[in-house]
Amino acid sequence: MTRSLLMALGVVALSHTVMASEAPPTGGASRVITGTRPGSAKGERLLVFGTDEQAANAAFAAAFAEIDRIERLVSEWVPESDITRLNAAAGRAAVPVAPETFALLQRGKEVSRLSHGAFAGTWAALSSAWDFSPTGGPRKAPEVPRVLEQQKLVDDEGLVLDEANKTARLARVGMAVGLGGIASGYALDRALAVLAEHGFDNALAFSGGDIAVHGQKGTEPWRVGLQDPRGEGYFAMLPLRDQAIGTSGDYERFFEVDGVRYHHILDPRTGFPARGCRAVSVVARDGVTADALATAVFVLGPEAGMALVESQADIEAVIVDESNQVLVSSGLRQALLTVHPPTP
């Protein structure tokens, strides 16, 4: 989510005196030091607050290697990943998976139950019915019968997990798992853990629409911007300490046909893009929770989504609904700094 990245980093720059490009030589005053993951489509970036640029670069390399490892483990786009093997075996045998993969699948099922199916790890059965890629060719209205047929294969209860043997099985041929709505947050959690192992306890990690932070930026909290769903820049800012924020929006991957916006956040219960929200940002104690609940709340819509947020301890949210109204959970109302109303 490039625009979100630029805005998030812009807020960091505005709330601190220097960025890495402006930093004094190694050994000077503490400052923000930045590292970018080479060749990343998601624009992963890591920030630490410290003095030693050489040590920071070594920490960045280790943290990005950890992100690479997780991607190889759970991405459905990587041959031989746990998820690729699981999807290939749908309707047949159980597949042994790594403990981390098993934990993510398990967590996904928990969020699915909590959200009454608004989040579903088995949403990926719908991917063949939609194409939101920039090179998708001429756009046309969806083939409703095809979408409805694929939706029948979305069934998290049909994802069978064996705790004792650490295996996973998809009950029917054609079912498929995609962990994009939860694995990104996990990768950020792990990246922060690696940075801490290298001595950087004050750090920020960014990927796509997700940000996770440890500690603070000097004497201040980290500050992140919330992307304006229909305009450039951010419409609000939030301070974060030892928290993560996951964002789902209808503005990153979409196309329009006859005035109807079709975006990539699909309601697994219907097979079609979720309606009711333009953007949802969820704040939680860890990236996995923030990532998954941002999707779930977006799909549930503003009223049911905010009710879910308010029912959970240590979970907060900011929602921009389809009428451009901003809803803020009770725990963020004092912390949220509105820069301007979202663009109509």
Q: Which residue has the higher pLDDT, 30 or 312?
A: 312
Sequence-ordered list of residues with C-beta below 8 angstroms from that of 304, at least 6 positions apart, any chain: none
Mean pLDDT, rounded, for 276-302: 98
Contact indicator for 193, 219 with CB cutoff of 8 Å? no
252, 264 Cβ separation under 8 angstroms: yes
pLDDT value at 6 more than 60: no
Neighbours of 218 (CB within 10 A): 15
Task: Identify the pLDDT of residue 4.
Answer: 42
> Cα–Cα distance between 215 and 213 in angstroms, integer?
7
As a dihedral over the C-alpha atoms of residue 282, residue 200, residue 215, residue 284, rounded to 10 degrees, the angle is 20
Task: Quick: pLDDT tens for 211-269.
Answer: 999 999 999 999 999 999 999 999 999 999 999 999 999 998 899 998 999 999 999 99
**Do the beta carbons of residue 47 and residue 12 sit within 8 Å?**
yes
Q: How confident is the model at residue 140 (pLDDT cuts 50, 70, 90)?
A: confident
Amino acid in position 17: T
pTM for the complete prediction?
0.90
Between CA 154 and CA 173 the distance in angstroms is 11
Strands 95-96 and 167-170: antiparallel
Window from 41-45, 68-72, 156-160 with minimum mean pLDDT:
41-45
Q: What percent of the chain has pLDDT over 70?
A: 91
The span from the CA of 89 to the CA of 172, in Å, is 9
pLDDT-above-90 percentage for the chain: 83
Average pLDDT over residues 93-116: 98
Helix axes 180-197, 53-74, angle to 10 degrees: 150
Give yes or no for residue 133 having a pLDDT over 50. Answer: yes
Per-residue pLDDT at 331 exceeds 70 = yes
* Arithmetic mean of pLDDT over the chain: 91
On whether the CB atoms of residues 324 and 278 are closer than 8 A, the answer is yes
- Residue 19 predicted with pLDDT over 50: no
Q: Residue 101 pLDDT > 60, yes or no?
A: yes
pLDDT exceeds cutoff 50 at 21:
no
Cβ proximity of 59 and 48 under 8 Å: yes
Residue 25 pLDDT > 70: no
Q: Is 294 exposed, middle or buried (0-12, 13-18, 19+ CB in 10 A)?
A: buried
Q: What are the Cα distances from residue 107, in Å, to 110, 121, 289, 291, 343?
A: 5, 10, 9, 11, 35
In the chain, which residue ranges form alpha helices assigned H by DSSP?
2-14, 53-74, 82-88, 99-114, 144-151, 180-197, 287-300, 302-310
Query: What domains appear along the chain, each with residue ranges and CATH number?
Result: 77-180 (1.10.3980.10)
Least confidently predicted of 62-66, 256-260, 291-295: 256-260
Q: Which of 197, 276, 289 is nearest to 246 (CA)?
A: 289
Q: What is the pLDDT of residue 9?
A: 43
Handedness of CA 9, 13, 16, 18 (dihedral sign): positive
CB atoms within 10 A of CB 150: 21
